[in-house]
Amino acid sequence: MNLSHEKLENLASAILEAAGSGPAEARTVASHLLQANLCGHDSHGVGMLPTYVANIAKGLLKPNRLPETVSDQGNFILFDGHRGYGQVAAKLAMELAIDRCKDKGMALMGLRNAHHIGRIGAYGEQSLAAGLISLHFVSVVDHVPMVTPFGGKQGRYGTNPLCIAVPSLNEADHLLLDMATSRIAVGKARVALNKGHQVSDCDLIDAEGQPTGDPSVLFSEPQGALLPFGEHKGYGLGLLCEVLAAALTGGGTIQPGNVRGGGIVNHMLTILINPELYGEQNAIRQEIAALIDYIRATPPAQTESPVLIPGDPERQRRKSRLSAGIFIEENTWDEIIGTAVSLGLNPEEFNLSEEDA
């Protein structure tokens, strides 16, 4: 199915409302999911809806629960998401942290115990829109660990994403590095499995520790594992995300002494910096823009693939998907429609057809 993002967002919002959310919450989460699809991260898009609805039924996700302020010391703020929708909690937490950063020049914001906060780049974009730099360290807990430490053959931690956002002179040149510290996100393995595709055999090991491109090893017993990107370096970064996001915020790391409910819980530590702290904003942005021009002008190894900056692939995909529509493969689509029907919705009322795109 190739569908327009507006109609998909309406369907997503209706599913979330039918699953118990108020209209504003449903719209915030649906919009986040659609933005993830638009920028090409289908692993964090509407395909998550069946998991969210299943987690509500198991009591692992609590609709309409706003984050609680645990500690507020001006530019040091800590929130507890209490398993509410992470997209709502993280957006609200970022709004407050951005205000504090503008006021004080820097802010440190912790958010613990939020249900899945989705695509971390969304929070980097929030900070870019405010003209600020942000660094986000995230841990993924509450379920079996999926990523093996460098040299290991069993999962010990999550895909722990890292995001760094830095504004440049123009929006098209903002730097937005947003990545799992595993070679691929779990959701990408799920999407590949649903499509009947293999991933690279550099991404996964089976339960015996042998390289494999078969994504089913992650979802069957005995379980395989994802490998960290960049060998020992990516492993170190993923481990430090766990420490900064989960231990420092008091959310609790993935070590087995902490209860695992079987859901998806994210903790996030965010550092916000106002670039004006160190000088005149325009001069800093001009220097960054000059660097980006220099990087973009690198002679490409393959003429048809110019050198990009972090954030470019998402901008390019958003542009093309806004006009061409979003492709949802059959298994994912069946799961979404099955979820809608199970909640008493009639998908036909949403006028979804290929021609929408």
Binders of ligand NAD among residues 96 to 125 (CB under 6 A) are 116-121
Q: Cβ(185)–Cβ(163) under 8 Å?
A: no
Binders of ligand NAD among residues 289 to 308 (CB under 6 A) are 308
**Is the CB of 100 or the CB of 188 nearer to ligand NAD?**
188
Amino acid in position 249: T
Q: Least distance from C-beta 178 to ligand NAD, angstroms?
A: 4
Task: Say how far apart CA 154 and CA 307 lie, in whole Å.
Answer: 35
**Is the CB of 136 or the CB of 285 nearer to ligand NAD?**
136
**Is the CB of 100 or the CB of 174 nearer to ligand NAD?**
174
Q: Which stretch binds ligand NAD (CB under 6 A): 171-179, 206-214, 245-253, 339-347?
A: 171-179
Among the listed residues 202, 186, 182, the one whose alpha carbon sits nearest the alpha carbon of residue 194: 186
Give the number of other Cβ atoms within 10 Å of residue 35's Cβ.
22
**Is the CB of 11 or the CB of 111 nearer to ligand NAD?**
111
DSSP 8-state class, residue 152: -
Task: Say how far apart CA 119 and CA 308 lie, in whole Å.
Answer: 20
**Is the CB of 19 or the CB of 90 nearer to ligand NAD?**
90
Q: Cβ(225)–Cβ(153) under 8 Å?
A: yes
Is residue 202 near ligand NAD by the rule CB under 6 A? no
Query: Among 11, 12, 34, 44, which residue sits at the site for ligand NAD (rule: CB under 6 A)?
Result: 44
Structure tokens at 235: 């492993």
Q: Cβ(132)–Cβ(167) under 8 Å?
A: yes
| Strand spans (E) along 26-100 | 68-72, 76-80
Q: Least distance from C-beta 3 to ligand NAD, angstroms?
A: 21
Amino acid in position 204: L
Question: What residues are paired with 20 via a beta bridge?
Answer: none
Query: Among 45, 47, 155, 161, which residue sits at the site for ligand NAD (rule: CB under 6 A)?
Result: 161
Q: Hey, CA dihedral for 148, 125, 317, 353, is it positive or negative?
A: positive
Is residue 238 near ligand NAD by the rule CB under 6 A? no
Is residue 180 near ligand NAD by the rule CB under 6 A? yes
Query: Among 21, 127, 266, 274, which residue sits at the site for ligand NAD (rule: CB under 6 A)?
Result: 266
Task: Say how far apart CA 138 and CA 164 lie, in whole Å.
Answer: 12
Q: Cβ(63)–Cβ(85) under 8 Å?
A: yes
Is residue 145 near ligand NAD by the rule CB under 6 A? no
Q: Which stretch binds ligand NAD (CB under 6 A): 36-44, 60-68, 217-225, 343-351?
A: 36-44
Is residue 311 near ligand NAD by the rule CB under 6 A? yes
Q: Cβ(67)–Cβ(81) under 8 Å?
A: yes
Q: Least distance from C-beta 185 to ligand NAD, angstroms?
A: 4
**Is the CB of 111 or the CB of 309 nearer to ligand NAD?**
309
Crossing angle for the helix pair 5-18 and 23-38, to the nearest 10 degrees:
140
Among the listed residues 156, 142, 161, the one whose alpha carbon sits nearest the alpha carbon of residue 263: 142
Query: Among 32, 41, 91, 112, which residue sits at the site for ligand NAD (rule: CB under 6 A)?
Result: 41
Is residue 167 near ligand NAD by the rule CB under 6 A? no
Q: Which stretch binds ligand NAD (CB under 6 A): 57-65, 66-74, 182-190, 327-335?
A: 182-190
Per CB under 6 A, residues contacting ligand NAD are 41, 43-44, 116-121, 138, 140, 159, 161, 176-180, 184-185, 188, 266, 308-311, 313-314
